[in-house]
Structure 1
Amino acid sequence: MCANSYWPNGQRWKHYWLGSIVSLIAVLQLFVSFVVVGLHIAIVIIGLGSLCSVFRSWYVMGFICWGFFLTCWISIFCVSCCNRSSVACATYVMITNVLAFIFAAVLISFDNKYINGQLSLDSATSSLDCTTSIQNTVNMASIFLGITKGQLAGSVIMLVSSLLFIAIYIYVYIRAVLDDEHRPNDDPQWAGQHAPNQTSGYGMST
């Protein structure tokens, strides 16, 4: 049995690591994160330029969330391409996915509040020196709502993908630890007895 049965062996970790699925998660998170930040930039531009509305907490939080999304998929790519047998690196990536999961939930909360009218335009701070017609405001408000729904969908995908990576990490960790506990040592030590295939006779030959 290994000296530390709670820390998996690197080679057995690599054996159970689902490299193709993890790489697919990284690619998915890459595209989703850039879609989310693109939609968020559109939300900020429309809010400030056309609707004359400032949702400071929402605008700032969107870019903070994207920063964690960016770190998440970059770390997954690093593990998938360079260091699949490192348990420590995989643990670091798991932590980044936990943070991405949390901030995806935060962004979902903001988007959902606006869609449900809890973060309405009436409660926003109006920008100075901004004049728009009523017709233009109505049209841009519908576009604003559609973009917000798109960002909500992207945030949900990011949340699910992070949860999937966390589940894969837990699965591989358990399998690798159990394998370490039940598999005998590769180089057994023979003490107090002759090694196999040795004769006990003296000067005897066949």
Structure 2
Amino acid sequence: MVYEQVTSHCRAADDCDMVQIPFEVETGTQTVLLSNVPNNPSNKCAKAVAEFFLGGQRLLSRYVGPGWEQPPFTMNATPGKHALGVRILNQSDCPSGDAGDYTARLSMWEDVEPAPPPAQAPPPAAKQGPLVTAEPGLAGVTFHVTDRSGVASQCTYSSEGYTDSFGLPANGSHDLFVPAIRLFKTRTGTITCDNGTSTNTSVFY
């Protein structure tokens, strides 16, 4: 996200330039490291203190310089555009006292997790075929058909070359009479509806 040199100029101990480093983030956590390893030969001072500011608020101060390196620290800038203020203060044991320039390398990064894939809606549950009960009679069989799909449909009964159509209301019932000659055997058929459901029938008649 950021990898550049920062040079702060001090005219005196309490008169040092603050460098503003613009950056833009996606998450709410960033890692910052200010380092002078290897030693920058242009720095006349071996060590210094760096102060960090975000949004006008002082975050912390860290030693920087060979032998004074410290691990990175984290901060929490909100997603969007910001500027990190960095002011490097020379130490009084510098040959030029508190005056002079100090250059260090600033690194800033963030670990951005990829967005999770959108949740997929579960596939719709398969519609149940109609519930069918058979009631044999003298001249045929009456099939009591009850919808279990919740969708009104047009259905067709088919068995042994005989077909008949009827409407079946959503969650409703229909009595279908099928004329037949008693043969004293198991008679099978199928009720097929245009809502994508079907049910096999079986009756001894």
Structure-1-length-normalised TM-score: 0.29
- Structure with higher helix content: 1
The structure, 1 or 2, with the larger RCO (C-alpha pairs under 8 Å, 6+ apart) is 1
Structure-2-length-normalised TM-score: 0.29
